[in-house]
A and B are shown apart, each in its own frame.
Chain A
Amino acid sequence: MDVSVTVNGTTYARDVEPRKLLIHFLRDDLDLTGSHVGCDTGNCGACSVLVDGVLVKSCMLLAVQANGASIETVEGLSENGELTPLQQSFNEHHALQCGYCTPGMLMSATALLRENPSPSEDEIKKALQGNICRCTGYWNIVEAVKAVGK
Chain B
Amino acid sequence: MLLREVEYVKPGSVAEALELLAANDGARALAGGQTLINVMKARAASPDMLVDLNGLPELKGIELASDGTLAIGAMTTYTELMRSAEAKARPILGEVCATIADVQVRNRGTIGGNVCSNDPTNHLPPLMVAVGATMTVLGAAGAREVPAEEFFLGVYMTAVGPGELLTKISIPAGKKDGFAAVTLGADGTCLANAAATVNGSVRVALGCVDAVPVVVTAGSPDGIADAVRSAGLDPPSDVHASAEYRLHLTTVVATRAAEEAASR
- Residues in B neighbouring A42, C-beta threshold 8 A: 34, 37-38, 105
Q: Is the Cβ of B103 less than 8 Å from the Cβ of A17?
A: no
Closest approach, in angstroms, between the C-beta of A33 and any C-beta of chain B? 17
Please tell me if A1 contacts chain B, counting CB pairs below 8 Å: yes
Q: Of B7, B52, B107, B186, which contacts A54 at CB under 8 A? A: B107
The smallest beta-carbon distance between A128 and chain B, in angstroms, is 8
Contact call A18/B6, Cβ cutoff below 8 A: yes
Question: In A14-57, which residues have CB < 8 Å from any B CB?
Answer: 17-21, 24, 40-42, 45, 48, 54-57
For A60, what are the chain B residues with a Cβ–Cβ distance below 8 Å?
33-34, 37-38, 105, 108
26 contacts between A and B (CB under 8 A): A18-B7, A18-B50, A20-B2, A21-B37, A41-B38, A41-B41, A42-B38, A45-B102, A55-B103, A57-B104, A60-B38, A61-B37, A61-B108, A62-B8, A64-B8, A65-B54, A108-B103, A108-B104, A111-B103, A126-B103, A129-B102, A129-B186, A130-B101, A130-B103, A130-B105, A131-B102
- Chain A positions within 8 Å of B, measured between CB atoms, are 1, 17-21, 24, 40-42, 45, 48, 54-57, 59-62, 64-65, 108, 111, 126-127, 129-131
Residues of B near any A CB (own CB < 8 A):
1-8, 33-34, 37-38, 41, 50, 52, 54, 101-105, 107-108, 186-187
